[in-house]
Amino acid sequence: MNKASILIIDDEAQIRKLLTITLESYDYNVQAAITAKEGLAAVASHPPDLVLLDLGLPDESGHAVLRHLREWYSNPIIILSVQSMEEDIVKALDSGATDYLVKPFRTGELMARIRLALRKVFQDENNHLGDFGDLIIDYSARVVKKNNVVIKLTATEYTLLALMCKNEGKVLTHHYVLCQVWGPSYQNESQYLRVFVAQLRKKIETDPNRPVHIITESGVGYRFVGK
């Protein structure tokens, strides 16, 4: 397999340098762009396997870049944002960002997110079996097993879990989950989501209070983690 290529779009020289050194040491092919214009041009000429996009660019907002890119570019885009402005993050995720990281972030966290995002690209989509350690989900038979014991889920619980499993590692915003599971008219009825996530955790987590699979992303949504 060729080295995966990553394009960094960030106007801060220090961040570009840090990311370049880090990513190259993990054996990625790295390019960097300073402005939105440069970034868009770079993606167009040599589409990378993944884009790291800073939201605060000098010439155009990262949101605009994201929208432009998503018109034709389907590889993962990970957002880097300065403050934990939840609204900004939700907006970016809802307009097609794959994941986000809030600066400052730990290198380990960054590498984990990149690996996860890239794995989806290189992965076969038609897998009917999801293996998440103690949890196994059979999409064709609609059966979920925990430690090899079948667990009983209601129809909604199953739909919710299957949606999360198929997006393993990815943050799903509250709106997105509500739309997918309950339908667009429920997208503001977040109380359903809270109740069902709590129920689901009781069934699939070893300790529902310390979940290892369904992780809360404060103010943004949920992330399903395999293990």
Partner 1 sequence: MNSIYKLSKKNQYLVSVLAILTITGLSLTIEGLVGYRVIAFLLLVSVSVLAMFLDIIPVIVAAALSALLWDLLFIPPRFTFAVGTTEDRFLLLMYFIIALIHAVLTYKIREVQKEVRKREDKANAIRFYNTLLNSLSHELRTPITTIIGATDNLMNANKLSDGDKTELLSEISIASMRLNQQVENLLSMSRLESGVFKIKKDWCDVRELIYTTLQRFEPTLSNYRVSVFIPENLPLFKLDFGLMEQVLHNLVSNAIQHTEAGTDIIVKADCTDEKLVMTLSDSGKGFPVAEINRVFDKFYRLQGSRPGGTGLGLSIAKGFVEAHNGKITLTNLPLRGAMFTIEIPTEISYLNHLKNE
For binding to partner 1 (CB under 8 A), which residues are involved? 83-84, 86-87, 104, 154-157, 174, 190-192, 194-195, 197-199, 209-210, 216, 218-219
Residue 121 phi, psi dihedral angles, 5° rounding: -65, -40
Q: How far is CA 136 from the centre of its chain?
A: 21
Residue 113 phi, psi dihedral angles, 5° rounding: -65, -40
CB of 154 to partner 1, least distance (A): 5
CB of 68 to partner 1, least distance (A): 28
How far lies 169's CA from each of 65, 114, 215, 221, 223, in Å?
24, 10, 10, 12, 6
> What is d(CA 17, CA 12) in angstroms, rounded to the nearest whole number?
9
Contact status, residue 2 vs residue 46, Cβ threshold 8 Å:
no
CB of 36 to partner 1, least distance (A): 25
> What is d(CA 11, CA 104) in angstroms, rounded to the nearest whole number?
15
Smaller CB separation from partner 1, 107 or 147: 107
CB of 191 to partner 1, least distance (A): 4
Smaller CB separation from partner 1, 87 or 124: 87
CB of 103 to partner 1, least distance (A): 10
State which amino acid sits at residue 163: L
Smaller CB separation from partner 1, 51 or 181: 181
Of 166, 159, 193, the closest CA to residue 178 belongs to 193
Measured in residues, the chain has a length of: 227
Smaller CB separation from partner 1, 140 or 209: 209
Smaller CB separation from partner 1, 45 or 218: 218
CB of 185 to partner 1, least distance (A): 16
Smaller CB separation from partner 1, 128 or 152: 152
Q: Is 9 exposed, middle or buried (0-12, 13-18, 19+ CB in 10 A)?
A: buried
- Between the two ends of the chain, the Cα-to-Cα distance in Å is 24
